[in-house]
Amino acid sequence: MKILIIQTAFLGDLILTTGFIRRVKELYPSSKISVLVNSGTESILTGNPYISEIISLDKKQIKKNLLHFFKFLTKIRERKFEICFSPHFSHRSSIIAFYSGAKKRIGYKQAGFSFLLNNKKSRPILGIHEINKLFSLVNEEKFPYKPELFFLEEEIKQIKETMIQEKLNSPFVVIAPSSIWETKRMPETKFREIIQMILEKTNYIPVLVGSKNDLQISNEVKKDLETYVVDFTGKTNLKEFCYIISKSKVLISNDSSPIHVASAFDIPTVAIFGATIPEFGYTPLSSKQFISEIKNLDCRPCGIHGGRVCPKQHFRCMREQDPKLIFEALLKILE
């Protein structure tokens, strides 16, 4: 049996889907599972024993040239899938599910073009974790598995050596100060205050992580502290980025993909929520966690993903975050 799972959303969504992939393999043990992902995120699934094939979709390319999309659909149809799971909302995902030729096309009622699916589950926006929503697609109310990531030795050989060179055999704290969405980012100055307290009051080494697009943010965060901070921003690939988090004592991050990486390894997590709210279902799943948020703001949430600018122009949800409180939470979950 050939099964297609479509997850071309953000990196964090893909990581959260990994436990679901394992469960599908258990329910259909003789199946071959193909997972369709957004181009650039493929490596997050390498080494996963439940996946037979990783298919990538270059969304930027098909937006520029619709012909590429039709060629892609033809290639998907040639694989002759029998079941397709589409835990994604986009119209495009529903189209792909339909053209896969699968007789069973399972997804959400709220998805775009959901009429192209023939087995639809309701997906509430608020109240339950994203993983519960995923497992509803296989008729399970509780999830048996958290996210899980696997490392191939060749993927992490270089980062292991680099970490030794940086003397990260000592306990360290990972700080992830960025997010794709500006309104989900706590100001850099507040992250710097937290790092100063870590340096002054603990023996932990502060480690910054992020992509090349986050260099300016990390540079601002570590301003005047360069000597004491290990900065991996823009210096790692996806698997190396995940490996660093997996070896940390605690993660401090905005509401973004690093908290889901930490969940895969049960790393204690301090998650900072601004424009978005925990009730959307993207909170950490680590056994030790703390969520920092400014409650009783009638403007929260201002969108499912946040946005580029604060609609109210005050950005109170992040400007009123308290670095001291966040640091104290860090100490408490490390006890």
Tokens of 49: 């024993």
Please give the Cα distance from 57 to 86 (Å, whole number).
14
pLDDT tens digits along 2-11: 999 999 999 9
Is there a common fold for 2-138 and 154-333? yes
Tokens of 314: 């005050």
The pLDDT value given to residue 63:
82
Domain ranges of the chain: 2-138, 154-333
SS3 category, 54 = strand
Q: What is the CATH number of domain 2-138?
A: 3.40.50.2000
Please give the Cα distance from 101 to 132 (Å, whole number).
27
The pLDDT value given to residue 239:
97
Please give the Cα distance from 212 to 233 (Å, whole number).
6
Contact 54, 46 (CB under 8 A): yes
Please give the Cα distance from 94 to 110 (Å, whole number).
11
φ, ψ of residue 304 to 5 degrees: the values are: -65, -40
Please give the Cα distance from 148 to 306 (Å, whole number).
26
Tokens of 174: 């990972």
Alpha-carbon separation of residue 88 from 37, 77, 97, 111, 146 (angstroms): 11, 19, 11, 7, 19
Say if domain 154-333 classifies as CATH 3.40.50.970.
no
pLDDT tens digits along 27-72: 999 999 999 999 999 999 999 999 999 999 998 888 888 899 999 9
SS3 category, 7 = strand
Alpha-carbon Rg for the chain in angstroms = 20
Give the residue from 109, 114, 78 showing the smallest Cα distance to 93: 114
Kindly state the average pLDDT of the residues 217-246: 97
The pLDDT value given to residue 169:
82
For the cut 80, the answer to whether the pLDDT of residue 251 exceeds it is yes
* pTM for the model: 0.95
φ, ψ of residue 231 to 5 degrees: the values are: -115, 115
The pLDDT value given to residue 335:
82
